[in-house]
Amino acid sequence: VKIRSKKLIELHRQIKVNFPYVPVIGHAYKFIGTNEDRMLMFDELGRQAHCNPYGLASFWLAHYLCVSISDPVCASAVLKTFSDKWPVTLSMRHLLGNGSVFAEAEIWRLRRKILIPVFNSKYCDNFVKVFERNNEVLIEKLAAVVGQGDISMWPFFSSYTLDSAFGMTFGENVNAQKDPNHPFAKAFQDYFRNMAVRVCQPWLFSAALYELLPAGRRQERNRRVLWDYLDDIITKKKRKISAEKLENELEHHRQNTVNNNFKSFLDLLIEFSGGEDGYTDTELREETIVLILAATDTSATTLSIAAVLLANHPRVQDKVYEELQEVLGDSERCLDNLAKLKYLDAVVKETLRLYPPAPVTVRRCDKDLELPSGLVLNNGCYFLLNFWSIHRNPHCWGADADEFRPERFLSVTPQQLSAFMPFGHGPRSCTGFSLALTSIKLSLAETLRRFRVAPGAGYACGARAPLRVTFDIMLKHVHNFEVQLERR
Ligand code: HEM
């Protein structure tokens, strides 16, 4: 322990010594600040790291040495080498158990093997129809609030993404868009709202203490609603599969014949984990709730931020609209032409670059790693992969790195692409990125061809006024993603 501590102290000195003027250690206190302070801290760590030859900044969080990474080469090496996450993610296990996203590395490795084939494009094609159906409801809902002044885009997009995630995962609809009081939708949204409050208050990390507080008891009730709901679906699904003679289904799959029936994530997880001998009901619950969580707020944040950015950059919005007119004309279906919408694609990527919904992720260093720069990252430190600041690194993105300029993605360089990690990187990266991009582009195209978005009255945004955002596990907008909607 002593030797390791010495090495860590030396590592901190090496990183810090290269940028000695603003000791980052002084900023660790902001972990106790508001959710907006947290984002400001990630930003500040990043700006200091941009001035450091290693692209790193380090600070002590109690006795943990945390290394914040803003250099894409270092980030790639760390994400490819380390799979364990920080103990700070433990509180997420209250709901998710050992679900792949926060599970410890040993369990995650086994689960990832089953998760990967679930995302094979031959199954995903069917999911796109789920997006299309839910988009129709979204457009109806948006049409009802045209001309009503400032409206928050969040409830619209988050219930659209929850309906889509639930549809993909179970082949059923919770109808969050039409019925915001649906017990699952309500408990899900309330659970993550409370969780966002908790992650910013380290004194609430202790499960024993939290459970005694009213907020902890409320979370317990939410968890019960969510688990009961999912357990019921899983039990029914398993019963149905046994009745349909699971063996025939598996044989059917082995022969690799084309099955036109819709298969939900749950069907596929049961099938790939070995049918009746595969995942237990608890494991299925853990994996399915991870999928719903992973697919919901990430995509809703991207859609909502894109709407706010477009509202505040009318020239960009006009170009998107011109492209939509040119490519789609009056055609009913967007979906067949999504690949032709190059400028829209650039807008989505630029949104994800400047405002990655998961602005940071974490890893635990369990062996020494020598970087191409020669610096050795020592066993025992913890990494903060700062996607937010990798995406704003002027060495990769140029002097206008902080500006919203989708055109940069029309002539993006390979070096820039390797500095673009909104979906993570390496073996633990996002399995759903392709589905996410399809769902987001489809929704934006359908929305923007019918409505113009204009800025909300309560805030400024532009080249010199970046959006004020908070760290609520996912990135959120201080002004609640407010815009005004006008009919085209
Ligand atoms: C804009 C939308 C999305 C963004 C920005 C996003 C981002 C991410 C990131 C950054 C990670 C890796 C976290 C880490 O390295 O610690 C991740 C993991 C994951 N994502 Fe996504 N995601 C999105 C949408 C989706 C969708 C639609 C799905 C599923 C349908 C999905 C499924 C997953 C899963 C299962 C993992 C865990 C992978 C593992 O631990 O092996 N994501 N996502």
What distance in angstroms lies between residue 436's CA and the mean position of ligand 1's atoms?
9
Confidence category of residue 469, pLDDT binned at 50, 70, 90:
very high
Residue 430, marked binder: yes
The partner residues of 202 in beta bridges, in order of sequence, read: none
Confidence category of residue 23, pLDDT binned at 50, 70, 90:
very low
Whole-Å CA distances, 439 to 99, 338, 436, 442, 461: 23, 10, 5, 5, 26
Q: What is the pLDDT of residues 272-316, one digit of tens each?
A: 999 888 999 999 999 999 999 999 999 999 999 999 999 999 999
Q: Burial level of 105, CB count in 10 A (0-12/13-18/19+)? A: middle
Q: What is the pLDDT of residues 430-442, one digit of tens each?
A: 999 999 999 999 9
The DSSP output letter for 462 is B
Q: Give the chain's mean pLDDT.
A: 89
Closest CA to 417 of 360, 357, 361, 346: 346
pLDDT of residue 24: 45
pLDDT at 133 over 90: yes
pLDDT of residue 243: 78
Q: Residue 100: CB within 6 Å of ligand 1?
A: yes
Q: Are 43 and 388 in contact (CB under 8 A)?
A: yes
Q: Which residues contact 173 (CB under 8 A, 6 or more apart)?
A: 163, 166, 167
> Nearest 5°: CA angle at 358, between 353 and 360?
90
Q: Are 263 and 228 in contact (CB under 8 A)?
A: no
Confidence category of residue 398, pLDDT binned at 50, 70, 90:
very high
Nearest atom in ligand 1 to 356's CA: 5
pTM comes to 0.92
Q: Which mutation among 423, 425, 475, 476 tests ligand 1's pocket best, with the greatest number of atoms within 8 A of CB?
A: 423
The tokens describing 300, both together, are: 């809703």
Closest CA to 312 of 463, 155, 477: 463
Q: Of how many residues is the chain composed?
A: 488
Q: Are 204 and 219 in contact (CB under 8 A)?
A: no
Higher-confidence residue of 18 and 441: namely 441
Q: Which residues contact 75 (CB under 8 A, 6 or more apart)?
A: 69, 385, 390, 421, 425
What distance in angstroms lies between residue 294's CA and the mean position of ligand 1's atoms?
5
By alpha-carbon position, which residue is closest to atom 36 of ligand 1? Answer: 430
Q: What is the pLDDT of residues 161-217, one digit of tens each?
A: 999 999 999 998 888 999 888 899 899 988 988 887 787 676 787 888 999 999 999
Instruction: Enumerate the H helices of 175-313 as residue ranges.
Output: 183-199, 207-210, 214-243, 246-254, 265-272, 281-312
What three-state secondary structure class fits 259? coil
Q: Residue 296: CB within 6 Å of ligand 1?
A: no
